[in-house]
Amino acid sequence: MIKMSENKFPLIGEKFPELQVETSMGQVKLPDAYAGKWFMLFSHPGDFTPVCTTEFYSFAKRYEDFQKLNTSLIGLSVDSTISHIEWVNWIEEHLKIKVPFPIIGDAMGRVASRMGMLHAESSTATVRAVFIVDPNSIVRLIMYYPLEIGRNVDELLRVIKALQMNDQYKVALPANWPNSELIGANAIVPSPRTVEDSKTRLSQFKGYAWWLTYKELPEKEVQEGKKFLREKETSK
């Protein structure tokens, strides 16, 4: 693993940096506060803005699904903690849902700058960044969205589930898993490392070539992955 430089944000495979932050729920030390758990740090451009409000409503509504995946949420923007408190109170009063996770107050932009979350055109706005961190405090996924586009919560839940399955079963997951057009809800078997293994791979697993084979996953895991898509369909 590459050692993380102090002048850039952590990359996939690097350890999340140690940060002492002030949040709407008190002081938090990252990543220690989430030792042994997954957590998702995500930034939003600003409190009391329309797209961000729809996102926080969705994150709050799906909070229990993140909890089922042993994943905690922590938000961030370059607003003050007082602003966060007022905003979540407004959401609870007017939209009738409680935001059950902390939001980092970063008015000076210290954390946002350290994590590469500041917008290129404005130092007073954070992009919609997502850092998913595993129980060993290693960054496993990074996503960036523009100011104008809200995130898809189903997709974030799907990739957390997929990362956990990668850890448990040592497999890769195909495009659109669990509804891959090529292999359905199956998992991709890691490619063989020797010529000898390549010659027997298709006799051991189903596949299209020795370097593209797949196997079934436990039904429980498949249904766990599909439930996010099913919930999306039934909500239409």
Dihedral sign, Cα of residue 232, residue 60, residue 64, residue 130: positive
Please give the Cα distance from 147 to 145 (Å, whole number). 7
Beta bridge partners of 187: 215
Please give the Cα distance from 111 to 24 (Å, whole number). 15
Catalytic pick among 30, 40, 52, 112:
52
3-state secondary structure (DSSP) of residue 206: strand
Q: Are 178 and 155 in contact (CB under 8 A)?
A: no
Angle of helix 219-234 relative to helix 153-169, nearest 10 degrees, comes to 180
* 194 catalytic residue (yes or no): no
Amino acid at 101: F
Buried b (16+ CB within 10 A) or exposed e, 81-91: bebbbebbeeb
Q: Which residues are catalytic?
A: 52
